[in-house]
Structure 1
Amino acid sequence: MTRTVYRLTAKDFAVIEAMLMRRRAFADPIAPMLERKLAESRVIAAGAVEPDLATLNSRVIFRVGGRSSQTRTLVQAEASAPVGSGLTVATWHGLCLLGMTVGQLALAGRLDGPAEEVLLEDVAYQPEAARRAARDPAAERPRHVLKLVHSAPAADWPLGGRAKIRQTEGDDPGPSAA
């Protein structure tokens, strides 16, 4: 990756730090990239997260090199998202995207090949910003309103039937039936 400044929430920083401790113990090739990510990141408060910042559980639209755009959810582990919709931060691209803002371009350095340019095109869903908007009653949100499309008079019954009381006196089987 290039000398880019990433912004991570305290939770995201802790996840990367824990990954680094586990990966270092097994001499994993992604460990140097994890170290670089932590060194080039600054921690921000969860309340200060803007809607254009890629954090864990954000749905991001990104492009790698000159290829077509992809939409994925940044996840900690592969099992936490439906097949094909998640991008774990344990991959080169997922780790690169974490902490980026919309329009930011970075290089995902790889040991098995040349570095690739990763461009964050959009953040379709940002969980911290969505939570903040849900708590703020003044925030403009689309209101979901039910609309009654037909109303029938109470005296009308389907197929001309009349209402009958289902249970009449003498029909009660008593407590032994329960």
Structure 2
Amino acid sequence: MSNDTYILTTKDFTILEAMCDNWQGRNDRLVALCRHKIQKAIVVFRDDLPGDVASLNSRVRFRVRGGESDIRVISTGQATGPVGLFLPITTLRGLALLGLREGQKIAFENTNGVAETMLLEAVEYQPEASRRERQMIGQEAGTSPLRPHLRLVSGGMDGRHGQLTGASDGFDDPGPSAA
């Protein structure tokens, strides 16, 4: 394994800790890599995560053993979607990419005991960076990120003057079938 450090958000770090604590059913190499990541991690808040770091739900471009580039979304393994779109951290390759910076390599033994080296070429999408960009756009436009979803319109009930319609017996509860 590599001696480099890894940058993890508090959320990603907590998920790795839970994975290591519940190691039952996982292979020894996965647990060893998980513990290595935790020991070498630099933990940051999501707002402080550099945009070139692979975090959960990031779309990354990488190479394995100098082969062709591959693009995947790093996931927790709980996502359902097209085969080949996600790379769960419950696999050695998915876990290896988590916390890497663009251009950083990591070496580990795969499930067959063969040494693999992975290179993170690019972080094409990172949820934390996207969130920061949306906040910046909202601030530049002079609007609050939490805009109201209800707009009051003057004269919206003209001609009704506050009359509400209901059942003739005064009971207007439609009951559970309306839900």
TM-score, scaled to structure 1: 0.72
CA separation of 1:139 and 1:17: change in aligned 2, threshold 3 A = same
CA separation of 1:114 and 1:9: change in aligned 2, threshold 3 A = same
CA separation of 1:68 and 1:119: change in aligned 2, threshold 3 A = same
Cα offset for 1:27? 6.5
Query: Percent identity among equivalent residues?
Result: 38
Q: State the match for 2:88 in structure 1.
A: 88
Cα offset for 1:16? 0.7
Q: State the match for 1:32 in structure 2.
A: 32
Structure 1 residue runs of 4 or more that deviate by more than 4 Å after TM superposition:
none
State the Cα deviation string for residues 107-146 of structure 1 (Å, max 9, x = none): 0223522221100000100100100100112889xxxxxx
For the pair 1:53 / 2:53, whether they are aligned, the reply is yes
Q: State the match for 1:109 in structure 2.
A: 109
**Residue type matched to 1:48 in 2?**
D
TM-score, scaled to structure 2: 0.72
Q: State the match for 2:122 in structure 1.
A: 122
CA separation of 1:43 and 1:27: change in aligned 2, threshold 3 A = same
Higher alpha-carbon Rg? 1
CA contact (8 A) 1:51 1:129 kept: yes
Q: Give the total of aligned pairs.
A: 139
Cα distance in 2 between the residues matched to 1:79 and 1:38: 23
Structure 1 gaps of 5+ residues are 141-178
Cα distance in 2 between the residues matched to 1:110 and 1:138: 45
What RMSD over aligned residues (CA atoms) do the two structures have, in Å? Answer: 1.9
Structure 2 gaps of 5+ residues are 141-179
